[in-house]
Structure 1
Amino acid sequence: MAYRKTAASFGLALVLSASAAFAQEQATPFDMSGERGPAVEKPTAIEEEKPATQTPATETPLAETPVTQTGEPEKKAATVDPAVRRYIIPAETLLLEGEMASRSFPVFLTKEQAAGADAISIGYSNAVVVAPEASKFTVTINDVPVKEMAVQSPEGTTDMRLPLTPGLLRPGVNRVTFSVAQRHRTDCTIQSTYDLWTAVDPARTYLTLPADKGGALLTTDDIAAVGLGPTGRTKFRMVVPEMGQPAATNALMRLSQGLALMAKMPNQTFDIVNALPEKAEAGELTVLVGTAGDLSPLLPALPASAQTAALATFVDAPGGRKVFVLSGPSWPSIEGAVEGVVSPVDRPLGVTREALSVRQRNAAEMPLVTGEAALTFSSLGVPTSEFSGRRFRTGFDIGIPSDFYADAYGEATLMLDAAYSSEVLPGSHIDIYVNGNIASTVPITNSGGGIFRHLPIRVTMRHFRPGPNRIDVETILRTQADAVCAPGASALPEPRFALFDTSELRMPRFARMAQLPNLDALSGTGFPYNGLTDPVALYLDRLDGDTLSAGATFLGKVAVASGRVLQIRPEASALAIGERNAILVGTISQLPPLVLAQTHIAGESASSWGAAAGGGQQRATQDAFNEWQSRVRTGSWRGQITAFEEWLHSTFDISFSSLRLLPGPEQEILPDASAGFLVAQGDSPEQTGAWTVLAAPTGDALRTGMDALAQDTRWQQLGGYASLESKDGKELLDVRPVNRARFVTTQPWTFSNMRLVAANWLSSNILAYAVAFCGLSILLGIATSALLNRFGRGS
């Protein structure tokens, strides 16, 4: 009897356990309605891989605990010292979207770091609709595959640790590439490809260095290996005990440009303080600048030679770390030490660039196109690719000079070498994007497959801008098999489309004439300060940490865009600048009214910007004005004119602003309470120099706003004659386009160039073109009539 009771109890327990497990499983059903966001942070451990070879390794199954090569659990893997991590991704997030995506990043390593790096760690997650059996995630270093694995992390972030073979990494720049090929679980439509993504977590993606080979920086050449932080940022923390001395300003501003050019990181900022921080985080370099007497209390190990001569070297600091020190007996000697650091990376004025910085956006060369040119896809880093999915996308970057003046006429041409299979249906098409804007579309009208040999695809030049430009080629492929969408059809390996690296981008000869103001050219190539022989006047309203940090960060960004170090001459008064080119940094209330007027900033902003009550009243006034304007226009002839203007712009791409004989003045900027920082550019009083202003309501907002603007994605959005940033630093609120630009000659006078300049100007001012055409027609008629009266018959 006891045995029967025990067996019954055991059976009942099994039934209850199975019911509980089934209920728990039903509580979290498999969700196919949509994708889970990349912000999920539920970590999943992966078994450590075997040493990688030059061929892709096999997929490793999931394990509950990370395991080393000896089979023992890895202890405290999440608490590795950050000092031995070299982060890879220069961004806060990385999303690889679509059926095929790839991103490459440069990583600069010292000789010791390259020899000591033994593994790469990757944290990634993916959309739940990604089919793991048909999707691959590939990690490549220096064109050698390290690992090809299934994309299978829909429930949270999975951490991978891939060992590296000795010799794979090299001293200098290394190219790390993350690639995905993704397929949908159940859907075969074009729209479903937009639901596919793999998110790589920058904070969990890094090269691992042993603690004894962490790669401490020892020479000035090692500054390029300063690296990134977990959020993709690089910071130079400059400790200057006597930052308030005017003699220090020139040395600090020139040094910041030199350090920026050495590192060339896309998101680098400068923080100028007067006290030595306790430690330096990943992606930070501590730099001490000051006389030997100022630095001796902070650095007990400061060499005695700093008391008598200039010094620029790495020194041991309290806490067992290295800091970069520039010192000497006086500030003139420190300026000599700064010059010794900066000179090797400076580009002389007579030397022209053939490419923009290769470490700005990715690890591929970015050629600078200055005129008529033909560039093959292979030279632009686009390899031959075969594709079996529905939406194929690839692209490349090119650089455009600062005096580019062809945004209203002319066309570039893509000579496409491609092929598509017989299953591709008419209605498919090839789209060309320039800087995120669609520039051209070519439909595929023939069935039965075909090969394109140098198919010309014209791309208007209006989407190009000075500096880096991104060109993407996207192909939308429709097939009968996708319409049926049989089980497993989304993962068929048979290629449908091929793009060959013999394709070319052909740029025409375009007009070369610079314009001011032009913040697009400033962010892209550093114009107008990139080619000046005379020093640029620099005005800082006060010599404190906030203003100096904002000025150093801005000059560092301009130096990287220019490819050279600017000559700076600090000025104690903004009124002493005169007609020179100048950069002015300060709080809005400390800038003279003349400076505000020349850079199109309303004078009342000096007192109203940043005031809570004034900002609320200004917004209320603007809202009331907009409401009354809407009321007056509704049903009136003004409303009909507005509707006609919108129709004209949407149908013929013509606006009323182009129907003018002479451009109107720039509208004054009156920042409201939502704006926290602005950059504005204007002419000097006699229009012989360019003034650029960085302003904010407070010093703290000035530093914070410039740090946010220094991020590469935000910096590339800078444009017009003024750009305003939000108070929280998360977005650009407004970019004011230029109405009245001043032309600046940058090239020797030639008839062919002036003809192109005239063609672009007349294309931008069609009313002036129409008036000139009518005037010439009347003159032709008068001349013809006079000739007929003189030589023709009277009747």
Structure 2
Amino acid sequence: MTFSIARAAMLGLSLVLFAPAGFAQESAVPFDMSGERPAGDRTPEAGGNEPVVTTMPEKKAPPADAAVRRYIIPAASLLLGGEVDSQSFPIYLTKAQASVATAIHLGYSNAVVVAPESSNLTVVVNDVSVGSVPIQSPEGTKDIRFDLPAGLLRPGVNRVTIAVAQRHRTDCTIRSTYDLWTAVDPARTYLAVPRETDGRLLTADDIAAIGVGPEGRTRFTMVVPEMGQPAAASALMRLGQGLALMAKMPNQTFDVVETLPKTAGPGDLTVLVGTADDLSPLLPDLPATARSSAISTFVDTPSADRKVFVVSGPDWPSIEAAVEGIVSPVDRPPGVNREALSVRQRNASEMPLVTGEALLTFASLGVRTSEFGGRRFRAGFDIGIPSDFYAGAYGEATLLLDAAYSAEVLPGSHVDVYVNGSIASTVPITSRNGGIFRHLPIRVTMRHLRPGPNRIDLEAVLMTRADTVCAPGATALAEPRFALFDSSEFRLPRFARIAQLPNLAALSGTGFPYNGQADPAALYLDRLDGDTLSAAATFLGKLAVSSGRAIRVRPETSALAISGRDAILVGTISQLPPLVLGQAHIAAESASAWGAPASGGSQQGATQEAFAEWQSRVRGGSWRGQISALESWLQATFDISFSSLSLLPGAETPVAPDEKARFLVAQGDNPEETATWTVLTAPSGAALKAGMDDLAQDVRWQQLDGYASLAGEDAGALDTRAAARTRFVTTQPWSFANLRLIAANWLSSNILAYAAIFCVLSILLGIATSGLLRRFGRSS
């Protein structure tokens, strides 16, 4: 027996020592956990198409390589959630970049509950799938490289789509689908372009290829040695809008400085503006023609590590002519209507601008036919709404749904429609034997629509008996339960069109009221320094992209000289005249109190808390408390507030920014109520620039609303103040049909006025009927 054991041991040892290397490697891992094994541990077969995968537990950028990175995601973060989700991004490439880009890199991590054996991440470029991998990176960020086929990329706009299909490891409930997520790191997601042939920007047309940085931002650094000259402000504001229209990226900011920065990273463009005498010390290679005529071209920097864009000439009038030559090709002439909002502002698909009655198919909106075997399906599209949209109180759109669901879907399932994140309609599924919807009408309230881009999502929540049992492997079943067809349609009725002011939502959505005016708007800057010029250039750049055209402005040295024109006023709050603060509904005491050292701030806060506590005590048992409770009940039950029960609108409450606010945008009328003034202000110049840079991010910009919006130091939502009193502005020719729709929406918003008019008309009808009966009726 001892001899047999010894011989067996020697045999096992010899197998280990003399076995092939591949046999030893496979023996180290006794079995594969159905995809749980990290992809970085698998060696692709020779000649295969598998992507190269590396795992990096720590979330830091990979080491520098010999390629220039063209970042793809125009946002600071990207989270793909639910069982199915995707995002598309446009990336503009020059001819040289498109011809030499070889690979696309992507870094991602995911929730630990995502099952890798039934979940995958797919990258699609220009409608061609370049690769798909299992989602299996719960412990750190994983970097993947997909090689691109030759000729796939093209000069101009390219569409990159990142899509995920995710399933839960063990849970089959609807609630569990909200725990599924995959986070894509924008700093690790990029196109690799060889450094020696990176196709650097060479002409003005190449400015569209500036792209974004690792945090999803685009920055223009405008070097102006003589920024204090009044003549420079007009040229800078016009040039900034032209550059913004060329790039059309969602998170664009401008920095106005006096000296040339030493370096510029991805998504940065350095622009030098000034006369030839001013720029010669900064650029030894400045073309000699700049001393005799206007130029706009790329020039090498003294270090020769990059090129900068130069706009120069012998004097400022010639520089303004050069700026006009840059802006004119990308500007939209006055009176020319546009049919779509910017396709590069949010995603890579068209966003139609709906100006009236319209019928749009899902196929035209970028929603494709899909089959789904999970529990919660979601798909959506974007549409644009004009600035004079006036149908939020009564209007309803209709979604004509073409879909199907299998027999295993139980009653209690439902289809929901969301408008800008708010639920607008719900349709229950009641059949037990499956069914097909053919143009099923789903009425969608339009109260959540706003001027500019709007997001409409359709979500199907599907419950089955198999999910109730949740047997092992049930989460990975791929049998389709639900299908959405691209023949579905979204129908918008004819809606009232009349603009309202103040309205910061229309300002951020379409640039109203500055987007359609023929005369230049007044631009008041409290000082011509870097912070103020940067904030103004960033704001006007955002307006240009929102309105689809460059806004003409005329700088003014005095706020009191604006008179009856539309105006934009930028400056610290202490430097703005009291008249401007009053017209913009900003409390006068804020000029000295906002940003001042809070010597008695804690005592003031304690006093306010004590006052609020006593107010709640007193109201709790008094008639005021009962009225407050009644108002809350009416709001929750019938969506009726006391403000809608008043015949005359109340006055706007003056805005008094607290110590948490650092930036304020307010809008109001001029003293004659014939023009609109928009005020951008902050306690200091540094806060003014930082606040505008933060507001320029697309997520924050789309939150502007009401007559005032305040931004705090944190990244929370803007504090918006709804306008109580608005001024109507005619934007369309007078017609009975439009007047009828305007009256319908106004009466729906003013219930008490509607009731009073109804009572008066009823009384008049009664009097008229009584008179007719007395005159023509029988006496008996």
Q: Where on the TM-score scale, by shorter chain, does this alignment land: which range?
A: over 0.9
- Contact 1:356-1:367 within 8 A present in 2 as well: yes
For residue 447 of structure 2, give the secondary structure of its aligned residue in structure 1. Answer: helix
Aligned equivalents of 1:719 and 1:205: distance in 2? 33
Q: Percent identity?
A: 73
Q: Does 1:182 align with 2:166?
A: yes
Aligned residue number for residue 602 of structure 1: 587
Identify which of 696, 715, 721 aligns with 2:682. Answer: 696
Alpha-carbon offset, residue 589 of structure 1? 0.3
- Matched with 1:285 is 269
Contact kept in structure 1, 2:186 and 2:216, CA below 8 Å: yes
User: Hey, what's the Cα distance between the residues in 2 that align with 1:678 and 1:51?
Assistant: 60
Match of 2:209 among 220, 225, 228: 225
Alignment of 1:617-632 (within 5 A): 618-632=604-618
What is the alpha-carbon distance in structure 1 between the residues aligned to residue 691 and residue 434 of structure 2?
54
Match of 2:353 among 368, 373, 392: 368
Instruction: Report 1:444-523 matches (<5 A).
Output: 444-523=429-508
Q: Distance between the aligned counterparts of 1:51 and 1:768, measured in 2?
A: 78
Structure 1 unmatched runs, 5+: 12-29, 31-42, 67-75
2:666 paired with 1:656: no
> Pick from 64, 79, 82: which aligns with 2:64?
79
Quick one: which amino acid aligns to residue 78 of structure 1?
Answer: P
Q: CA deviation at 1:116?
A: 1.3
The amino acid across from 1:775 in the alignment is: V
CA distance in 2, matches of 1:767, 1:794: 39
Q: How does 1:658-677 map to 2 (within 5 A)?
A: 658-677=644-663
Shift of 1:62: 6.1
Q: CA deviation at 1:646?
A: 0.8
Question: Would you say the 8 A contact 1:280–1:286 is kept in 2?
Answer: yes
**Matching residue of 1:536:** 521
> Is this contact kept in 1: 2:74–2:212, CA < 8 A?
yes
Give distance in 1, aligned partners of 2:123 and 2:244: 29
Query: Residues 693, 49 of structure 1: CA spacing in aligned structure 2 closer, same or farther, 3 A cutoff?
Result: farther
State how far apart, in whole Å, the 2-side matches of 1:153 and 1:281 are.
29
Q: Return the match for 1:263 from 247, 272, 279.
A: 247
* Native 8 Å contact 2:223 2:259 kept in 1: yes
Q: 1:46: Cα distance to partner?
A: 7.7
CA pair 538-547 structure 1, distance change in 2 beyond 3 A:
same
Kept in 1: contact 2:168–2:180 (CA 8 A):
yes
1:192 equivalent in alignment to 2:176 = yes
Deviation at 1:60, TM superposition (A): 5.5
State the SS of the aligned residue for 2:187: helix
For normalisation by structure 1, the TM-score amounts to 0.91
- The residue aligned with 1:786 is 771
Within-5 A mapping of 1:559-638: 559-613=544-598, 616=602, 618-638=604-624
Q: Structure 1 CA distance, aligned partners of 2:529 and 2:164?
A: 48
Is contact 1:226-1:263 (8 Å) kept?
yes
Residues 308-360 of structure 1, C-alpha deviation per residue, up to 9 Å, x if partnerless?
A: 10010000112221000000010011000100000000000121000000001
Say if 2:311 and 2:322, in contact at 8 Å, map to a contact too. Answer: yes
- Does the Cα contact within 8 Å between 2:239 and 2:323 map onto a contact in 1? yes
1:761 aligns with 2:746: yes
**Which of residues 697, 701, 723 in structure 2 aligns to 1:715?**
701
Q: Distance in 2 between matches of 1:64 and 1:156?
A: 7
Question: 2: distance between equivalents of 1:252 and 1:45?
Answer: 51
Q: Give, in whole Å, the separation in 2 of the partners of 1:309 and 1:774.
A: 74
Query: Matched residues in 1 for 2:432 and 2:128: separation?
Result: 38
* Alpha-carbon distance in 2 for matches of 1:272, 1:732: 28
How many Å separate the matches in 2 of 1:64 and 1:345? 44
Q: Does 1:136 align with 2:120?
A: yes
Amino acid at match of 2:413: S
Contact 2:51–2:146 (CA under 8 A) maintained in structure 1: no
Q: Which amino acid aligns with 2:591?
A: A
SS at match of 2:412: coil
Whole-angstrom CA distance in 1 between matches of 2:218 and 2:598? 37
Matched, 1:249 2:258: no
In structure 1, the residue matched to 2:23 is none
Q: TM-score, normalised by structure 2?
A: 0.93
Q: Is the 8 A contact 1:96 1:102 kept in 2?
A: yes
CA contact (8 A) 1:618 1:672 kept: no
For structure 2, the residue ranges without an aligned partner over 5 or more in a row are 1-5, 14-32
Any idea what the Cα deviations from partners look like across 1:642-685, whole Å, max 9, x if unmatched?
Answer: 11111111111111111111111111000010000000000011
1:89 equivalent in structure 2: 73
Q: How does 1:198-347 map to 2 (within 5 A)?
A: 198-320=182-304, 321-347=306-332
Per-residue deviation, 1:792? 2.0
Q: Which residue does 1:40 correspond to in 2?
A: none
Paired residue secondary structure (2:121): strand
Where does residue 401 of structure 2 map in the other structure? Answer: 416
Q: 2: distance between equivalents of 1:46 and 1:309?
A: 63
Q: Are the aligned partners of 1:123 and 1:205 in contact in 2 as well (CA < 8 Å)? A: yes
Q: Which amino acid aligns with 1:390?
A: R
CA 1:506–1:167 in 2, change beyond 3 Å: closer, same or farther? same
Equivalence for 1:21: none
**8 A contact 1:600–1:667 mirrored in 2:** yes
Distance 1:135 1:65 in 2: 20
> 1:399·1:468 contact (CA, 8 Å) conserved in 2?
yes
- Alpha-carbon shift at residue 59 of structure 1 (Å): 5.1
Deviation at residue 785 of structure 1 after TM alignment? 1.2
Name the CA distance, whole Å, in 2 between partners of 1:184 and 1:295.
61
Q: Distance in 2 between matches of 1:764 and 1:96?
A: 38
**Number of aligned positions between the proteins:** 742
Provide closer, same or farther for how the CA distance between residues 621 and 554 of structure 1 changes in structure 2, counting only shifts above 3 A.
Answer: farther
- Superposed CA deviations along residues 738-781 of structure 1, whole A, max 9, x for unmatched, are 11110000000000000000000000000000000000001111
